[in-house]
Amino acid sequence: MEKKIEDIKTDFENKLKDISDSTDLENLRVKFLGKKGIVTEIFSQMKNLGPLERKKIGPFINVLKNFILKEILQKKEKLRGFDLEKIVNSLKPFDVSRPAKFGGGSYHPITLIQEEVEEIFRSMGFIIEEFPEVVDEYQCFESINIPEHHPARDMQDTYYLSNSKVLKTHTSAAQNDIMRKYGAPLKAIFPGRCFRNESTDSSHETTFFQMEGMMIDDNVSISNLIYFMKIMLSEVFKKAVKIRLRPGFFPFVEPGFELDIECLICGGNGCSSCKNSGWIELCPCGMIHPNVLEMGGIDNKKYTGFAFGLGLTRLAMMKYSIKDIRDFNSGNLEILSQFFNV
């Protein structure tokens, strides 16, 4: 019996050698392992053996069967152009005792800039508040002096949700709640993601980040605003930056300004990034409108304050020289994983 098993194995090996297509291979499998195959046949002959011999021969036939199965599978992969043996041989020995090494992750540039700016304001005594992305129209508009039908609502292409809520178009939507929560005096920043229904290009996105800031006290003036902005920007860019204020209209501030910084790419000489003006618009701001203070429950006879809406995404673009705003949401790790703060 043992000799017979040995012969079957040799016979199989010889036949396998000559096979060069998968149909022949399948036929070979049936011939040896099929219902009436040679190996199946020899299994059925076991019943003619005595118990001792059966115990001895059984494992031999099993080994033969597994051998044939494995060879057929390997040949199948080889015919498909997948040489398992070659692959296994090419693998480097694996050292199981080696400590695991994970690929290093990275922070998104918006996270980096947000944490950096938060830290700067925290060190100047500001609190940091989070605020939902879905708000109601009162929060987003009315409570900050943009009544219904006011033309200023058209300045922001709002996403309206079916439950009569809106996606926050600006972080100013949190001003009213935060004034009501903390009262005056107040020093707070509140970063967040904002949404606008815009056509996208290299400088416009439907989703972007802002950081709103408010300082309210009994003697706050425009010079306080300039001071805090200058400190923050020179910390972010690690050098003194020149800023200028231009008049700007926003219903929630009076007077309102556009704060520009000198273009850091050309040093103010004019280049394509600053549209040859030497300046980049970074942070609209102003003195909080008395109506807004009042709606926030703050005595506007006693207190004044400034507010600003820093473009976090724009700041990140400048700090990290990212030319296309769409890169932020692209999920492209080759671009997004190269930034870090020093």
Query: Which residues are at the interface with ligand DAH (CB under 6 A)?
Result: 170, 172, 212, 250, 253, 256, 284-286, 307-309
Closer Cβ to ligand DAH, 57 or 220, answer by number: 220
Measured distance CA(294)–CA(158) in Å, rounded: 25
In angstroms, what is the minimal distance from the CB of 263 to ligand DAH?
Answer: 21
Closer Cβ to ligand DAH, 29 or 256, answer by number: 256
| Upstream peptide bond of 251 is cis (omega within 30 degrees of 0) | no
Measured distance CA(212)–CA(209) in Å, rounded: 10
In angstroms, what is the minimal distance from the CB of 203 to ligand DAH?
Answer: 15
Question: Which residue of the chain is nearest ligand DAH when measured via CB?
Answer: 309
In sequence order, which ranges of 45-174 are alpha helices (DSSP H)? 51-79, 84-90, 109-123, 137-140
How do beta strands 134-136 and 165-167 pair?
antiparallel
Closer Cβ to ligand DAH, 236 or 292, answer by number: 292
Closer Cβ to ligand DAH, 64 or 113, answer by number: 113
250: Cβ contacts below 8 Å, ≥ 6 apart? 152, 256, 284, 286
For the beta carbon of residue 65, count every other beta carbon within 10 angstroms. Answer: 17
Closer Cβ to ligand DAH, 195 or 279, answer by number: 195
**Which one-letter amino acid corresponds to residue 215?**
M
In angstroms, what is the minimal distance from the CB of 160 to ligand DAH?
Answer: 17
Closer Cβ to ligand DAH, 42 or 173, answer by number: 173
In sequence order, which ranges of 106-252 are alpha helices (DSSP H)? 109-123, 137-140, 175-182, 222-237
In angstroms, what is the minimal distance from the CB of 115 to ligand DAH?
Answer: 21
Contact 133, 195 (CB under 8 A): yes
Closer Cβ to ligand DAH, 64 or 189, answer by number: 189
Measured distance CA(313)–CA(192) in Å, rounded: 11
Q: Please report which helix (H) or strand (E) contains residue 243, including its range.
A: strand 243-247
Closer Cβ to ligand DAH, 109 or 309, answer by number: 309
Burial call 280-290: b when 16+ CB within 10 Å, e when fewer? bebbbbbbbbe
Measured distance CA(83)–CA(331) in Å, rounded: 36
